[in-house]
Structure formats: C-alpha cells, structure tokens
Structure 1
Amino acid sequence: MMPGETPPAEPLRVLIVNDSATQRVALRMALAEEPGVEVVGEVPDGYAATSTVIRLRPSVVLLDVVMPGMDGFATAREIMARTPTPIVMITAAADAKSSELILEAMRARALAVTQGLPPRTAPGYVQRRRALAQLLRSMAQVRVGPPPGSSPELPASQDGIPTRPRALPERSKPISLQEPAPTPQGPIVAVGMVASAGGPNAIADILAELPRRVVPPILIVQHIAPGFAPGFASWLAQRTGYPTDLAQQGEALRVGRAYVAPEDRHLGVNALGRVALSDAPPVGYFRPSGTWLLRSLAQTLGPRALGIILSGMGDDGADGTVALRRAGGRVVAQDQQSSVVFGMPKEAIVREGADDVLPLTAIPGWILRWIRSTG
C-alpha cells in the first residue's frame, strides 16, 4: 500500500444456511455481485450451522426460516446460545402468518426478517438484491450477546473484541441535556416513537409498561422489511397486550392505542387530530420516516406532543427531534448502554434534539411523568 492510501475495508463475511441447493446458489450469485460482500460458507441444514459459525466466524448469518428437521428458529436459538452472531432470517414471502413469523424470529433473537429474492429476470431484482446486501451490512454491525443468564464460552471476533458485549445495567444514570424547559401548554395529546435496528423489542418493552387508560395515542415508525408492517403491529399487540393497529388514513386517534406506520407511507397527524398518511418522497431514503412523523407532530401539536427516539442505525428521526423541541415538545433519546445500535439516538443528541437521555427501562416513567404533569 502506498503512503496516504486508505486500507481496504474488511469484507462482509456471510454464511448462508438454507436447505435448498437452488436457493443457496441464487443467494451466493446475488451477493457475489455486491461489492465488499463475501460468502464464506454454505450449510444445507441447521444441524451443522453452529459448528460452521464457530469455525468460519461470519459477520452475519443469512438463515432460512423453513428447513426440515431443525428449522430456522431452532437454529437461531442454538447459534445465539453458543456463539452469538448477527442473524437475518429469510423467507419465501410475507404471508398471512407474518406476525407469528416475526414473533418467533424475535424470540429466537434474530435481528431481522426479510423476503427472499425474486428471479433474476423479475422487475426490481437489482433493487431487491442491493437492499438485501445493505440489510446484511447493517445487521453485521450490531453487537449481539448471549441470552440473559447464560454464560457460554465465547470466542473473540476477528478484530479481537469479545463476542459477548459488556454487561448492560438494568438502569444507568439518566442524563438531562438541557436546562429545564417550561411545561408544555395543555395536556399531551400524542406521542411519536421512532426506531430501526433493535427497535421492535424496545418498543414492546415500553408499551408493556404503559397503562392504557391515561396514555395518549402513540404513533410508531419502525423500519422493517417490506411486507411485515401488519405482522409487526399484530406482534406488538400480542406481546404487550397494548392495542396496536396499522394506521389507516383519516382515522381518529384514540387514547390507549398505538398506531404503526404502514409500508412505504409516511405517518403523521393532520390539523383535525386524525391519522395523516402520505406518499411524499422518502426522507433520507426512508418512507415511512421518523423525521416525517416528528415534524408532523411539531407542526400540528407543538408543545402538546412527546417524541421518543430509540435504537437504530443511521440518523432517521434526528432532524425531527430538533423540529419537535423547537416547537415546544419534549424528546427523550434511548441511551447507548441499552441500545442495540446507538446511531439514531446519538444523532438526535448531537443535533440537540433530545431533552433527556435515558435507559430503556426509564422511558415509560418519563412518558407518564409528562402526561401527569400536563394533564
């Protein structure tokens, strides 16, 4: 290497686990066309997956959901118990059982679920291939650890950093970034919540701690694979008991309910306090966008809205937190220790869009304090 040259980035090392030889070939050929991606191995069943992960140390595992004998969920649980590695599960289609699929994938501690690629001759193939590669790149950066209470002997990753992350405290010290602001004028009437990688479980943990009878409508933007927004809403309702639906254009927002942004549409609130969906261009590549949601709350509700920015990669939502604070609303960012990925909360903090930085366990209490102090 010549002086001044930048060393090449480490390739993304992908292990494919899929019982279909045809699918393994198709995925290998697709990923070979993406720069910086290397398929380091292919496994035809779940039984050999864990030992192969230990031997090859992939950056990420691309794991089929449906396999004979040991299915993808069982395989994911074994990998995460013995040698924690980022896992993306792949399925043929987002069908009517998608909520159950998402539930099982999250229980197995997979980071994401995505649809398989269409045939190479299908319209949109290149875009889907690139999206899959980007999803794998993003998930490979997520630090994962063993299930709570387990203590397997874990090898170090290739960069020498232990695979097991530092222990996360149940509560870390809350941080207030700003001087106390005036109490918002009038009661809080809506809460906006935005998240990406690591967000589903964080959102569920918050909803599970909130009493429905006093909490204003909660509008949620969660970056999720195409086709899975309805299933995500169903999964939240099933896991938390908190009524959660896919948002519908023009519907009235109700106390004690949560509304998830549908696929490929921005979510906001109109001047009448009803759901406003939009086909406007993506914001920073995202539609739905967390920034769009929080800007909508800033414009229509101002000091009567709360914003919450949770675990996620990138900076979606950060500019929205700034807009909401400037309009008099209050914003909390999830802290680094409790975030799976600290990208989105960090960007909100850097841009001075957060009033407070709290561990995940403290955010439900933060919401309730503001509701009670302004009601």
Structure 2
Amino acid sequence: MHNVLIVDDSATSREVLRAILCEEAGFNVVGFAKDGREAVEKAKELHPDVITMDINMPVMNGLEATREIMIETPTPIVIVSASTRVKEIEASMEALGAGALAILLKPSGPHSPQHAAMAKEIVSTVKAMAGVLVIRRRRRVTPQGSSSLVKEPVATPQRPKIKAVSILSSTGGPPALAKVLGALPTDFPIPILLVQHMVPSFVAGFASWLDSVVPIRVCLACDQARIEGSCVYVAAAGSHLGVSRGSRIRLSDDPPIDGFQPAGTHLFASVAEEYRHECVGVIMTGMGRDGVDGLQRIYDAGGTTIAQDEASSVVFGMAKVAIEQKIIGSVLPLDQIGNQLKQLVC
C-alpha cells in the first residue's frame, strides 16, 4: 500500500486526484495540502511514500515546496500541473532539477474525453515513483561574487570523429540532460538529436527551459530543417524524430513504438541508417525498454553506444535493458557522459 499526499490549491482537483488514486488498489491518500507551506508541514507529519504536487499555488508554490521537502523530508514527488504557460512550465522543470521525479498534466475531470488515459498515466507514474529512493538536497547558498555561465572560448576546430549524437531519456531526464549538455561548449561541433519522454503539452516549454540552462543552443526539431552542429534538436510532441539524406530533420507520424511517439528506437534506427559507424547513441534514465531495438542498430553498424549507470539514474530501466542486451560500449555515471562526448569529437 502506497501512502499519498495530494497537494493542490483547488478542492476540485484534490478530489479528482483522490478519486483516481483511490479507485486503484494499492493507494492510500493520507492527507491533503492546499498550498506549498502546508505541504512541507504535512510531509514532515505524515511521511507519505509519494507526493503529487501542483505548481501554481498561493503562500508557497510547488517549486519552493519541492525544494524545502527535498531538504527537510526527502520524498518522491510527482508534479501534476494544469498550466502550460511558459512561466509555470519553467517552474516545473526547475522542480525536477530540485528533486521532483516526473511531471504530468492535471486531468480536468471524469467528463473529459482524455480523462481515462490521463488517469492511467497518473496511476502508473505515481506507483512507479513511490518506489524510488530519493536523496536529501542541501540548501543552496549563493557565493559572493558568483556570475552567470561563462561561455568557453572557441577552440581551434578539429575534424569530428562522429557526425551525430542521439540521446534518449525519460523519467528523471530533464535535470540529467541539463547536466550532460551543460558540460558541452557552445561550439560543440556536431548536432545532437534528443528524445525526452514527456507529456506533449510540456515539450515546447521543456526545450525553452533547456536552452536557458545549458551553453549549447537548444531548439524544437522542424521537419526538413538542415541539421547543423552546435545545436540540440528536441523531438516535437506527437512525431517521431529522425534524419533523412542530406542531414535533414525528418519528422514522422508513424504509429507509436512500444507506446511512445516520439520513440527512442525510431531516432536511434534512423541515425544508424544515415550515419552508420559515425554516430553515437546515448540511453539514459527512464522506465521501460524504449530505445533498445534502435540502439541495437547503432551497435550493429559500428557506432558508439553509451548508457547511464544505475547509481546516477532516477529509474534504471531503459539503460539496464540495453546493458543486458550487451549492446553498450560504455556505462558511465551522469557526470562523465558530457566529457565522454567531448572526447569523442576532438
């Protein structure tokens, strides 16, 4: 039985979430909080197994509450937000960086045609996150004289050994990607194609947020756009991301693969077909086995394959399956993946 604390300033939303979770065996809603400050106190008092957290709330918002809970009473947190405005999406992404594990779209109610599908996703995600071990965060102290990110000077270009990097991440992905891509210079000479499993409504905001926190440029992938170095192309919602001849973006409306659209398997297979041994496939934190079949194509073509290790993964699922399939060349902790990519192109 998983004990759940529901945090939302709307009584209606609290009741919708309670009904969704209580209809599923294995959940026990132990309490409610109507703002972030109350959530911090209830987390200390009730010690829930998992918390669903709204973002836009009075007194203390969900981002601030997440930060405090991860410092005071570390608990798995799932962000459940109704807003797709840029400001709230950025706050949700920052909450993931502060220790929240996943972000979902808040269901509007049982009369919505999407309610059943959204309820199913909430149940499966909250159940999975309830079993994740989280770590205590330290309170941030801004040192005097700190400055914003300083871009690295442009180095003398060298011919890359590879022509494209492809990355797949899922649960726990946004902050992990910020760390990997944050290790790359602004002039990283080859393109990076990225699939991040995420609720479609948040994808554009995710790309904007990622662009704001890493040195290298990040943009949403557009069909037939020429692929250029020094840029990360994020898969758009509802379309598979791939490449076509002449190094152009190819968005596809092919059916979902293993339930995902975009899917990592489609990306990896497409990159393998276009670049053969001159490409890299990186599989990171997340549930399930998406990407494994596509990564097999990169491995068979002689490309480079990298998996995030268990210790640094929020959920060791996709990477674990790929490692067990013996198609991974390097298993690396999160803080070494970016440096490995730099070494491969220099």
TM-score by length of 2: 0.89
Question: In 1, Cα distance between the equivalents of 2:171 and 2:93?
Answer: 16
Instruction: Indicate the residue corresponding to 1:247 in structure 2.
Output: 221
**Identity rate, percent:** 40
Matched, 1:124 2:114: yes
Q: For residues 43-89 of structure 1, give each alpha carbon's deviation from its aligned partner in whole angstroms, at most 9, with x where no partner exists.
A: 22333323322333322101121222122222111111111001112
Instruction: Output one character per residue of 1:82-104: Cα deviation in whole Å (capped at 9) or x when no partner.
Output: 11001112222312435422343
1:335 maps to which of 309, 317, 332: 309
What displacement does 1:35 show? 3.5
Q: Map residues 64-83 of structure 1 onto 2, 5 A cutoff.
A: 64-83=54-73
CA contact (8 A) 2:96 2:172 kept: no
Larger Rg: 1
1:193 and 1:219 in contact (8 A); partners too:
yes
- Taking the aligned partners of 1:82 and 1:33, their CA distance within structure 2 comes to 31
Matched, 1:369 2:343: yes
Whole-angstrom distance in 2 between the partners of 1:309 and 1:188: 17
Q: 1:92 aligns with which of 65, 75, 82?
A: 82
Q: Which residue of 1 aligns with 2:6?
A: 16
5+ unaligned residues in a row in structure 2: which ranges? 141-159
RMSD after superposition: 1.8
Name the counterpart of 1:108.
98
For 1:237-276, what aligned pairs fall within 5 Å after superposition?
237-276=211-250
**1:76–1:108 contact (8 Å) kept in structure 2:** yes
Q: Is the 8 A contact 2:171 2:285 kept in 1?
A: yes
Stretches of 4+ aligned residues off by more than 4 angstroms: none
CA distance in 2, matches of 1:264, 1:98: 22
Alignment of 1:151-230 (within 5 A): 187-230=161-204
Q: 1:365 to 1:64 in 2, by over 3 A?
A: closer
* Distance in structure 2 (CA, Å) of the matches to 1:98 and 1:257: 25
Matched AA of 1:15:
L
Partner of 2:146: none
Counterpart residue identity of residue 230, structure 2: G
**Contact 1:269–1:276 (CA<8 Å) still a contact in 2?**
yes
Distance 2:59 2:339 in 1: 45
AA at the equivalent of 2:126: L
Alpha-carbon distance in 1 for matches of 2:170, 2:301? 24
Q: Give the match for residue 158 of structure 1.
A: none
Aligned mates of 1:28, 1:66 — CA distance in 2: 19
Q: Counterparts of 1:353 and 1:96 in 2: how far apart (Å)? A: 38
Q: 1:62 aligns with which of 37, 49, 52?
A: 52
- Show structure 1 runs of 5+ residues with no match: 1-10, 151-185
With 336-345 and 247-256 compared, the bigger mean Cα shift is at 336-345
SS at the partner of 2:201?
Answer: coil
Whether 1:314 aligns to 2:288 is yes
CA distance in 1, matches of 2:46, 2:70: 15
Q: In the alignment, residue 333 of structure 2 is paired with which amino acid?
A: P
Pick the aligned partner of 2:16 from 19, 26, 34: 26
Residue type of the alignment partner of 1:47: R
User: Is it true that 1:134 corresponds to 2:134 in the alignment?
Assistant: no
**Structure 2 counterpart of 1:235:** 209
Whole-Å separation in 2 of the counterparts to 1:274 and 1:28: 46
Amino acid paired to 1:65: I
Shift of 1:148: 4.3
3-state SS of the aligned residue for 1:48? helix
How far does the alpha carbon of each residue in 1:2-60 deviate from its partner, in whole angstroms, 9 at most, with x for none? Answer: xxxxxxxxx23221012222221122112222333322222223333233223333221
2:260 pairs with 1:286? yes
Structure 1 contact 291–319 (Cα < 8 Å) conserved? yes
The answer to which of 254-263 and 269-278 deviates more is: 269-278
1:107 deviation in Å?
A: 4.3
Q: Aligned-pair distance for 1:106?
A: 2.9
Q: Secondary structure at the match of 2:79?
A: strand
Change (3 A) 1:37 1:269: same
CA distance in 2, matches of 1:326, 1:132: 37
Please report how far the alpha carbon of residue 290 of structure 1 lies from its aligned counterpart in structure 2 after TM superposition: 1.0
Paired letter, 1:113: I
- One-letter identity of the residue aligned with 2:212: Q
Paired with 1:116 and 1:90, the residues of 2 have a C-alpha distance of: 5
Maintained 8 Å contact 2:173/2:285:
yes
2:34 match: 44
Number of equivalences: 327
Amino acid corresponding to residue 58 of structure 2 in structure 1:
P
TM-score under structure 1 length normalisation: 0.82
Q: SS at the partner of 2:37?
A: coil
Instruction: Indicate conservation of the 8 Å contact 1:15/1:42, yes or no.
Output: yes
Contact 2:52–2:77 at 8 Å: present in 1 too? yes
